[in-house]
Amino acid sequence: MSHFMSYKGYLMTRSINKIRKRCDNMKNDEKLLLKQKSAQKALSYVKNGMVLGIGSGSTVREFIRLLAASSSLDLQSIICIPSSFDTESLLVKANLRLGRLNQFSKIDLTIDGADRVDSKLNLIKGGGGALLREKIVAAASKEVIIIVDESKLVKELAGSYPIPVEVLPLAKVFVENALQKLGGKPSLRLAANKLGATITDNGNMLLDTEFTKIPDIAKLEEEINNIPGVFENGLFSNRLVTRIIIATTTKGIIVKEK
Ligand code: 5RP
């Protein structure tokens, strides 16, 4: 295990703030290299004949590129279930075999990224707005591998990144009030090149909700989903995660298993 070490050990030897500072100063090509390393390691878990869930985001994009270039796998035997329109387009462009979730009772393995990861393998996802389909695909999978670079590591999810909540547009104000009652501070995610809200692949809105305290992650995940008008939220408690692959600048690849 020369360049493999425990995740906990890594968190103990390096302060998260130092890691964050280093990552903030990192150039884009250095970040890309870490994403590629994490994606490369994930590829070693893919086997011929698998039904493979494919997450969304820039790290997953690297995984798709590496999968499509693989010479050791029989790509025609692997069926890819996308978790977003963006991922579907990338899979089509890469000539990979597409499938639909409704065709299969189980997905063998899902590979996805994350916005934040804590030391117990709880996640915040949904920075790319694909959280609803991502969570369905993850929940339908026998195994879920999360691929990240070290900039995603945090000691605590609370206060580290807003939790995206996917909401039926007509229930926006009702859900905002309910999120405030749970201690959250929601703000509507705006579109980049259009007036008004970001609309998800499913025709809904996103409320990016800051929580400064999360005493029980699984409980908050459930409480948010219990609000009528909410489809899903970006808290992925560790019950959904099998393994996390973290690419680091100083310690190589860290694989953390549950
Ligand atoms: C999209 C997601 C992504 O997995 C998450 O935003 C990480 O993306 P990236 O690999 O680009 O940092 O949850 O909804």
3 state SS of 186: strand
Inter-residue long-range contacts of 71-78, CB under 8 Å, 24+ positions, other chains counted: 73/46, 73/47, 73/48, 74/48, 77/48, 77/49, 77/50, 78/46, 78/48, 78/49, 78/50, 78/51, 78/52
Least confident of 21-25, 107-111, 210-214: 21-25
The closest of 195, 209, 194, 183 to 126, measured between CA atoms, is 209
CA of 127 to the centre of ligand 1 (A): 5
> Domains along the chain?
36-152+238-257 (3.40.50.1360), 163-233 (3.30.70.260)
Residue of 56, 201, 246 to mutate, ligand 1, most atoms within 8 A of C-beta: 56
Residue entry with tokens 């800051």: 210
Q: Which residue puts its alpha carbon closest to atom 8 of ligand 1?
A: 57
58-106 tens-digit pLDDT: 999 999 999 999 999 999 999 999 999 999 999 999 999 999 999 999 9
222-251 tens-digit pLDDT: 999 999 999 999 999 999 999 999 999 999
At residue 198, the pLDDT reads 98
156 is catalytic: no
Residue of 65, 115, 136 to mutate, ligand 1, most atoms within 8 A of C-beta: 115
At residue 1, the pLDDT reads 35
Q: Is the pLDDT of residue 2 over 50?
A: no
Counting from 1 in the atom list of ligand 1, the atom nearest the Cα of 61 is 10
Q: Residues of the chain with pLDDT > 70: what percent?
A: 91
